[in-house]
Amino acid sequence: MNLLKTISNRHSPRSFSSIEVEKEKLDLIFEAARWAPSSFNNQPWRFFVANKNENLNFYNDIINCLTGFNKSWADTAPILIVTVVKTTFDHNNLPNKYAFHDLGLAVGNMLNQATALGLYMHQMAGIEHDKIAKLLNLLSEYKPVTVIALGYLGKIEDLPADIQKVENEKQRVRKQLSEIINYSPLN
Ligand SMILES: Cc1cc2nc3c(=O)[nH]c(=O)nc-3n(C[C@H](O)[C@H](O)[C@H](O)COP(=O)(O)O)c2cc1C
């Protein structure tokens, strides 16, 4: 038995090709997000999309909200997506404790769909959250969570030297199953 290819082939690159992401593919990635499960089916995920070729001003405004290291590689991506979460339920306005969880499920679906389409995504928490909230004119119950770089894979050689080094030296490591699974209560 093998892992799904969309899981095993996925990784988070820092070099993207300038090749446009087809509109049909982008739509399909968001369609995948749409069908994620969520607490009370509240669907608390929201996305703001900046296409470098179509709206460079908005794209650059988002780049300016990234912190240090991310600023120096993310602008190779043709598409930036800001993920936003609605932190209250639609039906009673009470806090939705599962909103971030549900956004994660939606992004998980997007990762699978993007990988199946030959595309790559790199999520970033290294962003200035308050600045992005202001840029997007978000109401207080909406919180920006990440910015995602999306596109086809680019060449590592096209990156600045320091980031090439990080990319060439990075190792994809994971905790062992025994570290994350318990079959009985803790002692
Ligand atoms: C919520 C989240 C935030 C992340 N933030 C950043 C970031 O700010 N900058 C960055 O270079 N990578 C960021 N990453 C990428 C992780 O470092 C990466 O997913 C992890 O090292 C595993 O590598 P892989 O995605 O290639 O399997 C983030 C990933 C996630 C899921």
Residue 92 corresponds to which amino acid? N
Q: Domain 9-165 maps to which CATH number in 3.50.50.60, 3.40.50.1000, 2.40.50.100, 3.40.109.10?
A: 3.40.109.10
- The Cα 87–Cα 94 span in angstroms is 8
Q: Indicate yes or no: pTM above 0.95.
A: yes
Reading the chain (187 residues) residue by residue, the pLDDT tens digits are 999 999 999 999 999 999 999 999 999 999 999 999 999 999 999 999 999 999 999 999 999 999 989 999 999 999 999 999 999 999 999 999 999 999 999 999 999 999 999 999 999 999 999 999 999 999 999 999 999 999 999 999 999 999 999 999 999 999 999 999 999 999 9
Strands of 120-124's sheet in order across: 45-51, 79-86, 142-151, 120-124
Which of 9, 14, 105, 122 best tests ligand 1's pocket when mutated (most atoms within 8 Å of CB)? Answer: 122
Is any atom of ligand 1 closer than 6 Å to the C-beta of 103?
no
Domain range summary for the chain, segments of one domain joined by +: 9-165
Q: Rounded to 5 degrees, what angle do the CA atoms 168, 160, 67 make?
A: 95
Residue 101 DSSP code: H
Q: What is the DSSP string of 142-161?
A: EEEEEEEEEESB--GGGS-H
Looking at residue 68, what is its pLDDT?
Answer: 87
